[in-house]
Amino acid sequence: MSAPATPDAGAPHGAEAVANAAERRWAVIVVLIMASLLAMMVFTGVHWAAMPPSRVETVDVNTLHIKGEFVENNLGTALGKDGRIVVRLVAQQYSFTPQCLVVPAGIPVTFRATSSDAIHGFVIGRTNANTMLVPGFVSTFTTTFPTQGKQLMPCHEYCGIGHEAMWARVQVISQEAFFARASASGRLSCVAR
């Protein structure tokens, strides 16, 4: 004995046809979303790998501590003859050199920084000073600190087991105090000596 045959068995109709069409529409949309996300990943992966953020300014990691602008006695805040204020620092597992930076409030300060080992990064308090430090590249940005005060500068790129203890201090002081100190010594920092 066989089941009674329906008039159009196998061919969806009515509500089922509507549901099938909706399912198919969503399947197409989801595939398109996945394809565009994949395309974005491939583009940024290939493009950014060939062109790192900040500027493509390279530095030799192997001679970083021996010669060039990132030797230890050239680190800290420098007041150039042209009046530009440049802070140079190096990150390494698990500290920044110098450990304490001095900058003036209210005038542009240029940072030049790099890493000697892993990828590090830093952000200074609640300011917009925020960059990654990639070995072999010099990260450069210019910012102005609006207010005086002490800021913390933690590493914000996971760099190993000591990452959580990797941070420095930044003292933002008045321009008068800064220029008085800058004219007295070559490279400024607030590291206790």
- Which residues contribute to the site for Cu ion (CB under 5 A)? 120, 155, 159, 163, 166
Work out how close the CB of 119 gets to Cu ion at its nearest, in angstroms, rounded to a whole number.
Answer: 8
For residue 120, give the amino acid letter: H
If the CB atoms of residues 134 and 159 are measured against Cu ion, the closer one turns out to be 159
**CA 150/CA 128 separation, integer angstroms:** 15
The nearer residue to Cu ion, 156 or 181, going by C-beta atoms, is 156
Q: Which CB, 76 or 121, lies closer to Cu ion?
A: 121
CB of 30 to Cu ion, least distance (A): 37
- Rounded to a whole number of angstroms, the minimum distance from the CB of residue 167 to Cu ion is 9
Which CB, 122 or 178, lies closer to Cu ion? Answer: 122
Of the two residues 159 and 173, which places its CB atom closer to Cu ion in the complex? 159
SS (H, E, C) 159-176: CCCCHHHCEEEEEEECHH
Rg for the chain (alpha carbons), in Å?
28
Omega cis (within 30) before 98: yes
As measured in angstroms, the least distance from the Cβ of 117 to Cu ion is 10
Rounded Cα gap, residues 108 and 76, in angstroms: 16
Outline where 74-174 has alpha helix (H).
none
| Distances 35 to 32, 44, 45, 179, 184 between C-alpha atoms, Å | 5, 14, 15, 56, 60
Minimum distance of Cu ion from residue 106's CB (angstroms): 30
**Nearest-angstrom CA–CA distance, 189 and 193:** 10
